[in-house]
């Protein structure tokens, strides 16, 4: 390895042309400067300067080492400048959230980027457990989840809540919502369907639905693409439970029947990040946006 201080001494010597001036500038002795140059030459395996009459000429190898030293200096200066720069409106933010919340979040992120072109976004749509894994592995820096993680690895901030909706084909609008109706209609299954349905039934205030057995519900279709789940409902294939944001962004809402329960069922939304990781200031801009959405 080449000692960086030797490079600084050599670069200064080439630029001043004098051992004495180099020693004065670097607060060294002249023999100390000579020693640095000899050690650098030994490390490189070539003479870097040709000495004569207390003067010197730089060799071809010395010229290349000088150019390398110049490059190192510029890179160091760039690094120091970058370390001082932490703009709220510049850099890349790596985020993750559920697919339904992404429908609301991504257009807002794009509008923010239109105002601040140097602020870029990497948004992943993923389930809660995947978001936690990605934060732990530093694949993303910030996530929005609907279940507060138990691990003390994460820092959690609640930012709001979102309603869960039981959605049926429009033709069931005037019928009594019973267990038998749900069985007749059939479930449009998706990765979060059982979790959403269980939470909805337990908290919606329709006590007669509490006896619904998941194993009795026929699965009429399965899809893991969020924008396709409600297509099946709109076509009369079955019912499902989804966050309100997914319904708000569905083009054919007029083909859906969204049940109005006695008690509104909501999911809390949490911002999570690593507990002991300090994020750049640009994430405060994202946090402000998230608070306005919720």
Please tell me if the domain spanning 91-161+268-293 has the same topology as the one spanning 163-267. yes
Q: For residue 53, what pLDDT is reported?
A: 84
pLDDT at residue 80, rounded to an integer:
82
Output the CATH code of domain 91-161+268-293: 3.40.190.10
Q: Mapped to the 3 state alphabet, what secondary structure does the chain carry? A: CCCHHHHHHHHHHHHHCCHHHHHHHCCCCHHHHHHHHHHHHHHHCCCCEEEECCEEEECHHHHHHHHHHHHHHHHHHHHHHHHHCCCCCCEEEEEEECHHHHHHHHHHHHHHHHHCCCEEEEEEECCHHHHHHHHHCCCCCEEEECCCCCCCCEEEEEEEEEEEEEEEEHHHCCCCCCHHHHHHHCEEECCCHHHHHHHHHHHCCCHHHHHCCHHHCCEEEECCCHHHHHHHHHCCCCEEEEEHHHHHCCCCHHHEEECCCCCCCEEEEEEEEECCCCCCCHHHHHHHHHHHHC
Per-residue pLDDT at 71: 94
Which fold, 4-84? Arc Repressor Mutant, subunit A (1.10.10)
pLDDT tens digits in sequence order for the chain, 294 residues long: 789 999 999 999 999 999 999 999 999 999 999 999 999 999 999 999 998 887 899 999 999 999 999 999 999 888 887 777 788 999 999 999 998 899 989 999 999 999 999 999 999 999 889 999 999 999 999 999 998 898 899 999 999 999 999 999 999 998 999 999 999 999 999 988 998 999 999 999 998 888 887 778 999 999 998 889 999 999 999 999 999 999 999 999 999 999 999 999 999 999 999 999 999 999 999 999 998 887
Residue 214 is predicted with a pLDDT of 78
pLDDT of residue 86: 82
Look at residue 147 in the predicted model and tell me its pLDDT. Answer: 87
Q: Where are the domains of the chain?
A: 4-84, 91-161+268-293, 163-267
CATH superfamily of 163-267: Periplasmic binding protein-like II (3.40.190.10)
């Amino acid at each position: 390895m080449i000692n960086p201080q030797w490079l600084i001494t050599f670069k200064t010597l080439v630029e001043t042309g004098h051992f004495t001036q180099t020693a004065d500038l670097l607060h060294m002795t002249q023999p100390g400067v000579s020693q640095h140059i000899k050690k650098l030459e030994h490390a490189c395996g070539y003479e870097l300067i040709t000495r004569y009459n207390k003067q010197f000429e730089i060799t071809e190898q010395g010229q290349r080492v000088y150019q390398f030293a110049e490059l190192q200096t510029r890179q160091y200066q760039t690094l120091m400048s970058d370390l001082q720069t932490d703009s709220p409106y510049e850099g890349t933010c790596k985020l993750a959230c559920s697919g339904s919340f992404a429908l609301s979040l991504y257009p807002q992120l794009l509008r923010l980027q239109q105002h601040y072109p140097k602020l870029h976004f990497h948004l992943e749509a993923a389930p809660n457990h995947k978001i936690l894994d990605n934060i732990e592995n530093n694949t993303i820096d910030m996530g929005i989840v609907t279940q507060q993680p138990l691990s003390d690895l994460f820092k959690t901030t609640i930012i709001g809540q979102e309603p869960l909706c039981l959605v049926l084909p429009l033709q069931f609008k005037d019928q009594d919502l019973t267990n038998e109706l749900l069985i007749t209609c059939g479930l449009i299954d998706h990765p979060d369907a059982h979790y959403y349905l269980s939470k909805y039934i337990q908290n919606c205030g329709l006590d007669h639905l509490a006896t619904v057995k998941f194993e009795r519900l026929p699965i009429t279709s399965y899809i893991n693409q969020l924008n396709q789940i409600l297509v099946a409902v709109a076509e009369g294939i079955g019912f499902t439970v989804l966050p309100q944001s997914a319904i708000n962004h569905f083009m054919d809402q007029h083909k859906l029947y969204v049940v109005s329960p006695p008690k509104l069922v909501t999911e809390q939304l949490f911002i999570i990040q690593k507990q002991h990781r300090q994020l750049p200031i640009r994430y405060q801009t994202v946090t402000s946006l998230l608070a306005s959405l919720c």
